[in-house]
Amino acid sequence: MFPCRASTKLKKEAGKDNLMAMRIINPDKCIVFFDFDNTISTFDVFDSMLPCFSRDELWVELEKKWQGGKIGSRDCLEGQIRGMNITKAALDKYLAGIKLDPYFKKLVKLLSSRKVKAIVLSDNFDYILRRVLNYNHGIRKLKIYSNKLRFAKDRLIPYFPFRSKNCQICAHCKTKNLLANVDKESIIIYIGDGHSDVCPSQYADIVFAKADLLKHYRDTKSTCFAYKSLKDVYNYFKRSIG
């Protein structure tokens, strides 16, 4: 982790598992990283598309192999997308119904008002994220790093500009993009839920975790804050940003 003068005290207090123990932090040095699926959105958007648009059940086998650690997320996603038949118009119609955590927009507004940087790191795809955030909910100024999509009639073509040459676990190396946006003085806050959040969250000074990410932190006896929804995170920032 990058050394941070503020982080040692923050982590010691976080160990009390009490949000009120977190004292005022400097917003000028703070940078917040969000996962998207089941963090900003209320469920995994890409996974929800699979039973709706897949030609067969191959996606189920790929998901099992990925969950079992037999393949990385790039091979899983690539195979699952190859098995879909979906036009751009059909995708747009489907994405129009995607809801976000009701506190996300409030949280983004709060962070913006305190001049705190916020970045989205996702193993989903750029078109899906931007369609949901920008078009559905009017959230347009967030920096987003994710995998990419192109359209070819009724097929989706994925590509993975942020993959790591040295690691096959994730399609998008979130760690690389996290580290590219911070310096040694940054106070890094990470909010996530899944396997792809394990590696980047280890560079954070403060971690909010649920689902598989929370299980990892509990299994490894590492410090994090369990959260149920972004309301918990919003309340933390209301109390802690000076």
Average pLDDT over residues 44-60: 96
Q: Is 30 helix (H, G, I), strand (E, B) or coil?
A: strand
Total of domains in the chain: 1
Determine, yes or no, domain membership for 24.
Answer: yes
Would you place residue 136 in the very low, low, confident or very high pLDDT band (cuts 50, 70, 90)?
A: confident
Task: Express as a percent the part of the chain with pLDDT over 90.
Answer: 81
Task: Say if residues 12 and 18 touch (Cβ distance below 8 Å).
Answer: no
Tell me what pLDDT residue 9 has.
38
Tell me what pLDDT residue 2 has.
34
Determine, yes or no, domain membership for 220.
Answer: yes
Range of the domain at 103: 7-240
Determine, yes or no, domain membership for 2.
Answer: no
- The C-alpha atoms of residue 175 and residue 197 are separated, in whole angstroms, by 9
Determine, yes or no, domain membership for 202.
Answer: yes
- What is the CATH classification number for the domain harbouring 32? 3.40.50.1000
Residue 21 has pLDDT above 90, yes or no: no
- Condensed to tens digits (0 to 9), the pLDDT of residues 5-16 reads 334 434 433 444
Give the CA distances from residue 13 to residues 3, 22, 52, 142, 231, in Å, rounded to whole numbers and listed in that order.
17, 6, 46, 30, 21
Tell me what pLDDT residue 218 has.
97
Determine, yes or no, domain membership for 183.
Answer: yes
Determine, yes or no, domain membership for 138.
Answer: yes
Could you tell me the two tokens for 62?
A: 């790929």
Model confidence, pTM: 0.89
Determine, yes or no, domain membership for 224.
Answer: yes
Average pLDDT over residues 216-242: 93
- Condensed to tens digits (0 to 9), the pLDDT of residues 172-226 reads 999 999 999 999 999 999 999 999 999 999 999 999 999 999 999 999 999 999 9
Average pLDDT over residues 42-68: 95
Tell me what pLDDT residue 24 has.
65
Determine, yes or no, domain membership for 1.
Answer: no
Tell me what pLDDT residue 20 has.
38
